[in-house]
Amino acid sequence: MCGIIGYNGFRDANKVLIDCLKRLEYRGYDSAGIAVIGKNLKIFKEIGEISKLEKEIPDLKGNIGIGHTRWATHGSVTKENAHPQTSSDKKIAIIHNGIIENFKILREKLEKKGIKFRSQTDTEVIAHLISENYKDNLEDAVINALKKIKGSYAILAISKDEPNKIVGARKESPLVIGVGDNENFLASDIPALLKYTNRVKYLEDNEICILSKNDVKIYDQNKKEIKKEENIIKWDFKDAEKSGFPHFMLKEIYDQPDTIQKVFLGRVSEIQRNIEFPEKVETLLNNGIESIHIVACGTSYYSGLVGKYIIEKLTGIPVFVELSSEYRYFGTKNEKSLVIGVTQSGETADTLAALKEAKNSGCRTLVITNVIGSTATRISDAYILTQSGPEIGVAATKTFTSQILVLFLTALKISINQDNIGADELYKYILYLKELPRKVRQILEESDQILKIAKELKNSKSVFFIGRGINFPLSLEGALKLKEISYIHAEGFAAGELKHGPFALLTKTTPVVAILTKNSTYDKMIANIGEVKARGPKVIAVAEEDDTEIEKHADFVIRFPSNSSLLSCIPISVILQLLAYNVANLKNCSIDKPRNLAKSVTVE
C-alpha cells in the first residue's frame, strides 16, 4: 500500500525522508511527497518516482518532517492528490496509509461548513477534521478527529505551531516506531528504518504516538500512557541493487538456483536422509493433523494450490486452499486443523486476518513467509522462512518457487512423522530436490527458446494457459504473470474445463499455452490440445525434454529437464516467469513497477 515515514532529530529531515522513502518505494509509487518544518512548513509533491521528487527539493533546512509514497486508492494520480495533505490554513500537514470508509459523509459535512477541498482523496478529510478540532494541542486534535473516522489508517500529522512533535496514529494499517539517539522515526515497516536504527517499538491498533527529538510517548485513545518495550531487530535488510540486470524481476528469476538451494540449507541432509525444521515447527507438525487449510492471496494462493497436490499425494491429508479474504467469512475451523498462511511479506492484511481468525478458533497456525520479524511470524504458532532475500520486483518470482518448496518439505516431514514414506523413497526425493538448482540453471541458460516464443505472443490480445492436476494451478500462475507485467489479457484453465464454456473464446488469434508432464494426465492433455487446435489457435506446449510425442501436436514446444513429477512445477514456473518477462520486455512495459499494482497489499 502506501509508504509513510516520519523523522524528528538532528539530521537534515529532507535527506533522511528521501533516503527512507526510497526503501519504501516498492509499497506504492505513483506519486510521493514530503513536508518539513524549518522556519516554515514546506511541502514538496511530485507524481512519478521518488527520484523525481528528490530533484525538486532545494537545500532545505529543517530537522522534523514526514514523507509519503502513494499507491492510489481514492482519486486519480495527480499532484493535488499526492500526500502530504494540508488543512485550509496550511498549518497542519498529514500523510495517510489506509482507507476511510465514511469519507464521503464527512466530506459533505465539512463542505457544508464552508471548507473547500483541493483533492479527491479521503486523506484530506482527516487534515480538515484535525484542523477543526485544533486548540493548541496536536495530539488532542488528532484523537478527536479520529473518533469521527471509520476505516483503516496509519497517520502522521505535524503542525507549524508545534514544530517539535510528530503525532502518529494506527488502526489496521502498519506503523512502527524507530528509536534513535537524539532522533526518532515512524515508518510503515521496519526495512525503511533499519539503516538508521535497529530499535523499534510496535504501535498496536487504536494507539497514538507523540514523537519528539528525544522521546517517544505512546497513549491509548483516552490519553492514558502505555509503556512499551524496545525490540532490537537483528536482521540486516540490505537494499538489493539490480547489479547489471535490466530489471529486478529478471535478477530475481536468475536468483532462483540460489534461492532454491537456500530452502534446503540446514534442513535437508542427504547422508542422514532426513528433514529437520526448528523445534516449534517440528512440534506443530508432529501431532496428528486431520486437515490442512492453506490461506493466501495472489501468487501465494497459487503456490498453495500447487502445495495442495503435493501434500495430498505425500500425506493423504485433505487440503483446502482458500483465498484469505474469503476464509474469514466462510472457512471451517477445527482444533485438529493445521492452518498454513502463505505470505511473502508477512504483512498481507487479508492473510493476517485469516490467521487471527484461525488462531481464535483453536487451530494450529503455521506461516510460510520471506520476511523475518513480520507481523505474520509474530501472530502464528510457528513459521518457516523461505530465505529468498528481498523480492523487489512487484511480480512474485523466486518467492513463488520457494514457497512451493517449503510446502514440499513440510509435506515430506508430515509424511515421515506419519511413517508413510520409506527411507529409499525419501532419499529419492532428496536427490530430486538437490537436482533442482541445476535444472533451473539449465532453463536459464537455454532461455533463448523462450524469447522466440515470446515474440509469437507479444501481439496477442488474449492468451490461454491450460494444465491438468498439479499443472492446473501453474496455468493460473502463468496467466497471472503474463497479465501482471505485459498487460495482455490471460486466463488459466483446467484443461478439462475448456469445453464447458471457454472454448467459445478461442480463435486463431488466441494462443494457448499447454503444460504437460508425463504422468497419468498426459494422454488427456494431448487430446485437449487436439480439441484446441481444431478451433484455430496456435498451441505452445511446455513439455519435458524427452517428450517426443508432443511435437506432433503442438506448434511450438518449450522444453524443461525431467524431474520427479511432483517437482516439475519448479522448472515449469521458471519457464512461465521468463515467458511473461520476455513478452513484457518486448512490449517495453514497466516490468518492476507495473501500473496500478503494489507489492504488498496491506489494505483489505
Partner 1 sequence: MKCVILAAGEGKRMHPLTFTRPKVMIPIANKAILEWNLINSIDAGIKEFIFVVGYRSEMVRNYFGNGKKWNVKIDYVNQVEALGTAHAISMAEKFVDKFIVMCGDTIFGKDDIKKILENEQSMGLYKVENPKEYGIVETKDERIIKIYEKMQNPFTDVINAGIYHFNKKIFDYIKKTEKSSRGEYEITDSINKKAESESIKGIYLKEWRDVVYPWHLLDANEEILSKQKEKINSDIEKNITIKGNVLIGKNTKLMNGTYIEGPVVIGNDCKIGPNCYIRPSTSIGNNCHIGNACEVKNSIILDNSNVPHQNYVGDSIIGQNCNLGAGSKVANLRLDKKNINVRINGKKIDTKRRKFGITLGDNVQTGINSVMNVGTIIGNDSYIGPGAIVSGEILPFTKLL
Partner 2 sequence: MKAVILAAGEGRRLRPYTETIPKVMIPIANKPILEYVIESVRKSGIDEIILVVGYKKEVIMEHFKDYKKAKISYVTQDKQLGTGHALLQAKNLLESSFIVLSGDNIIDQNSISKLIKDSSEYSMLIKENPNPSKYGVVFIEKGKLKKIIEKPKENLGKFISTGIYKFPKSIFKTLKDLAFEGIYDISSAIQYILKEENTINTILASSWADIIYPWDIIKLNENMIHSSSSISGTVEKGVTIKGNVTIGKNTTVYAGCYIVGPVIIGEGCEIGPNSCIFPSSTIGNNSVVHPFSQIRNSVIMNDVHIGSNSVIKNSIIGRGSIIRNNFSSVNGKAVIEVEGEFKKLENIGSMIGEDCDIGNNVIIDPGKIIGTKCKIAPLKRIIENIASKTKVI
Beta bridge partners of 556: 540
438 binds partner 2 per the rule CB under 8 A: yes
57 binds partner 2 per the rule CB under 8 A: no
Angle at 300 between CA 295 and CA 305, to 5 degrees: 70
Indicate which of partner 2, partner 1, none lies near residue 183 (CB less than 5 to 8 Å, by partner kind): partner 1
Cell of 553: 501436436
444 binds partner 2 per the rule CB under 8 A: yes
Cell of 293: 487449510
Nearer to partner 1, 232 or 271 (CB): 232
Nearer to partner 2, 270 or 531 (CB): 270
209 assigned to active site: no
What is the C-alpha separation between 555 and 550, in angstroms, rounded?
9
56 binds partner 2 per the rule CB under 8 A: no
Cell of 99: 482507507
Asked if 4 and 154 count as a contact pair (C-beta separation under 8 A), the reply is yes
Catalytic residue among 2, 363, 569, 589: 2
Q: How many residues bind partner 1, per CB under 8 A?
A: 11
- Smallest gap, in angstroms, from Cβ of residue 58 to partner 1? 18
297 assigned to active site: no
351 binds partner 1 per the rule CB under 8 A: no
Indicate which of partner 1, partner 2, none lies near residue 12 (CB less than 5 to 8 Å, by partner kind): none
245 binds partner 2 per the rule CB under 8 A: yes
273 binds partner 2 per the rule CB under 8 A: no
Query: In 336-359, which positions are buried (b, 16+ CB within 10 angstroms) versus exposed (e)?
Result: ebbbbbbbbbbbbbbbbbbbbbbb
Nearer to partner 2, 228 or 441 (CB): 441
- Phi first, then psi: what are they for 490, rounded to 5°? -145, 145
517 binds partner 1 per the rule CB under 8 A: no
DSSP codes of every residue in 369-424: ES-TT-HHHHHSSEEEE-------SSS--HHHHHHHHHHHHHHHHHHHHTT-S-HH
Strands (E), 148-223: 153-159, 162-171, 176-179, 184-187, 199-202, 207-211, 216-219
Nearer to partner 2, 269 or 596 (CB): 269
Using a 10 angstrom Cβ sphere, with 0-12 exposed, 13-18 middle and 19 or more buried, the burial of residue 471 is buried
- Smallest gap, in angstroms, from Cβ of residue 230 to partner 1? 9
Nearer to partner 2, 133 or 585 (CB): 585
- Smallest gap, in angstroms, from Cβ of residue 440 to partner 2? 11
Map residues 444-483 to x or -, x wherever contact with partner 1 holds by CB under 8 A: ----------------------------------------
Torsion of the alpha carbons at 507, 510, 511 and 517, rounded to the nearest 10: -80
Indicate which of partner 2, partner 1, none lies near residue 180 (CB less than 5 to 8 Å, by partner kind): partner 1
Asked if 81 and 72 count as a contact pair (C-beta separation under 8 A), the reply is yes
12 binds partner 1 per the rule CB under 8 A: no
What is the C-alpha separation between 83 and 98, in angstroms, rounded?
12
What is the C-alpha separation between 461 and 29, in angstroms, rounded?
27
For partner 2, the binding residue among 101, 118, 266, 534 (CB under 8 A) is 266
Q: Mark the segment that binds partner 1 (CB under 8 A) among 180-188, 248-256, 341-349, 421-429.
A: 180-188
Cell of 250: 529478471
- Smallest gap, in angstroms, from Cβ of residue 444 to partner 2? 7
199 binds partner 1 per the rule CB under 8 A: yes
Helix segments in 83-155, DSSP class H:
103-112, 123-132, 138-147
SS3 call for 62: coil
Cell of 138: 496536536
- Which secondary structure element, helix H or strand E, spans residue 321, and what is its range? strand 319-323
232 binds partner 1 per the rule CB under 8 A: yes
In single-letter form, the type of residue at position 232 comes to I
For partner 1, the binding residue among 182, 286, 287, 332 (CB under 8 A) is 182
For partner 2, the binding residue among 172, 189, 255, 547 (CB under 8 A) is 255
Q: Which of residues 197-226 bind partner 2 (CB under 8 A)?
A: none
Indicate which of partner 2, partner 1, none lies near residue 195 (CB less than 5 to 8 Å, by partner kind): partner 1
- Smallest gap, in angstroms, from Cβ of residue 224 to partner 2? 46
Cell of 422: 520409506
For partner 2, the binding residue among 11, 109, 280, 434 (CB under 8 A) is 434
For partner 1, the binding residue among 28, 33, 168, 180 (CB under 8 A) is 180
Catalytic residue among 262, 398, 481, 599: 599
Which of 119, 21, 25 minimizes the C-alpha distance to 77?
119
- Smallest gap, in angstroms, from Cβ of residue 180 to partner 1? 6
Residues that bind partner 2 (CB under 8 A): 238, 240-241, 243-245, 251, 254-255, 258, 261, 265-266, 269-271, 434, 437-438, 441-442, 444-445
Residues that bind partner 1 (CB under 8 A): 10, 180-183, 195-199, 232
* Catalytic residue ranges: 2, 599
